[in-house]
């Protein structure tokens, strides 16, 4: 079985803008290259927002050099950016944004969700890009819930929503720049599943709900992150209650990481260039909102 390297509790929560009460389950600062290509896992909520008149969220800000992957579990997010792209994602949907050479965007609760209020639960991943793709053209993939395969685990243990990579020969819809598996796993109380991921890939589990036992040994609570060895075969997960977790695996990108705020490059010189470009308006502006 694949060895557990560490189980981390997140630092205290913080707000991103006024719409995302997040806990950073994974960050490059905390787990470093052991979790490459993953740079960040921000878990927002679950939080109940009361009805309101003005949408909450995070206003215009830039990104360069990586990808943001937004998974909506509950609630609804509207996004728009300096390339003119935009859209809405709701429960079960995923937005895979390749920032690449750079975008300026905002991420807000939708007007209808704001008016109705309700349960809000969102995960945002930051996935690194290899140097060769850091300045690639920005790209969006809207992965709707209906397009994400739901694959039953053996013995009625639960199911896997395959967002990226593959489980049991069922491929997720995400197009990625490096080999990645992103599985949204539901494991029923009392059930056990054996999961096998590619050798030499980084592997983490982010627990979102319930309680897990890993490899018949370690117990993992909500908002904890399990980092596994890159070698050593399968992992065994058991659910002590109905459980929801994200499994993130990927081929490590063996390159230096220079990060400052919303820019993730290979050198600090490239980060300074990104900041200068942002200040010079190279990232563009958000289009005017009609009406
Ligand atoms: Mn953003």
Q: What is the pLDDT of residues 121-175, one digit of tens each?
A: 999 999 999 999 999 999 999 999 999 999 999 999 999 999 999 999 999 999 9
| 106 C-alpha to ligand 1 centroid (Å) | 7
| 180 C-alpha to ligand 1 centroid (Å) | 21
Query: 255 Cβ partners below 8 Å, 6+ apart?
Result: 130, 131, 266
pLDDT of 211 higher than 50: yes
DSSP labels, 188-213 = -TT-EEEE---TTSEEEEEEEES-EE
Task: Kindly list the distances between the CA atom of residue 283 and the CA atoms of 120, 121, 136, in Å, as whole numbers in the listed order.
Answer: 30, 29, 14
| 41 C-alpha to ligand 1 centroid (Å) | 13
| 103 C-alpha to ligand 1 centroid (Å) | 9
Task: Kindly list the distances between the CA atom of residue 90 and the CA atoms of 21, 69, 95, 224, 267, in Å, as whole numbers in the listed order.
Answer: 18, 14, 10, 25, 36
The DSSP output letter for 277 is H
Give the helix ranges, DSSP H, for the chain.
28-31, 111-116, 268-279
The DSSP output letter for 55 is -
| 151 C-alpha to ligand 1 centroid (Å) | 30
| 207 C-alpha to ligand 1 centroid (Å) | 23
Q: 120 and 52 in contact (C-beta within 8 Å)?
A: no
pLDDT mean over 193-216: 98
pLDDT of 289 higher than 70: no
pLDDT of residue 291: 37
Average pLDDT of the chain is 96
| 107 C-alpha to ligand 1 centroid (Å) | 7
pLDDT of residue 98: 97
């Amino acid at each position: 079985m694949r060895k557990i390297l560490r189980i981390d509790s997140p630092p205290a929560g913080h707000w991103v803008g006024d719409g995302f009460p997040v806990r950073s389950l994974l960050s490059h600062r905390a787990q470093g290259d052991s979790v490459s290509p993953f740079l960040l896992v921000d878990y927002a909520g679950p939080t109940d927002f009361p009805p309101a008149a003005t949408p909450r969220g995070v206003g215009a800000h830039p990104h360069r050099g990586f990808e943001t992957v937004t998974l909506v579990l509950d609630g609804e997010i509207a996004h728009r950016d300096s390339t003119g792209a935009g859209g809405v994602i709701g429960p079960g949907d995923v937005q895979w944004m390749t920032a690449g050479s750079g975008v300026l965007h905002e991420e807000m609760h939708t007007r209808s969700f704001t008016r109705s209020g309700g349960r809000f639960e969102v995960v945002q991943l930051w996935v690194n890009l290899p140097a060769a793709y850091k300045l690639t053209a920005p790209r969006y993939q809207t992965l709707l819930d209906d397009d994400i395969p739901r694959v039953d685990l053996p013995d009625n243990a639960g199911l896997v929503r395959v967002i990226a990579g593959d489980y049991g020969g069922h491929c997720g819809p995400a197009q990625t720049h490096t080999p990645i598996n992103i599985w949204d796993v539901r494991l029923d109380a009392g059930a056990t599943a054996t999961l096998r991921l590619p050798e030499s890939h980084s592997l983490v589990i982010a627990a979102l709900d319930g309680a897990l036992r890993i490899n018949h040994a370690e117990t993992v609570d909500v908002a904890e992150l399990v980092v596994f060895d890159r070698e050593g075969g399968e992992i065994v997960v058991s659910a002590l209650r109905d459980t929801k977790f994200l499994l993130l695996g990927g081929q490590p990108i063996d390159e230096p990481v220079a990060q400052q705020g919303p820019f993730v490059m290979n050198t600090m010189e490239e980060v300074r260039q990104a900041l200068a470009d942002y200040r010079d308006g190279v990232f563009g502006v958000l289009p005017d909102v009609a009406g």
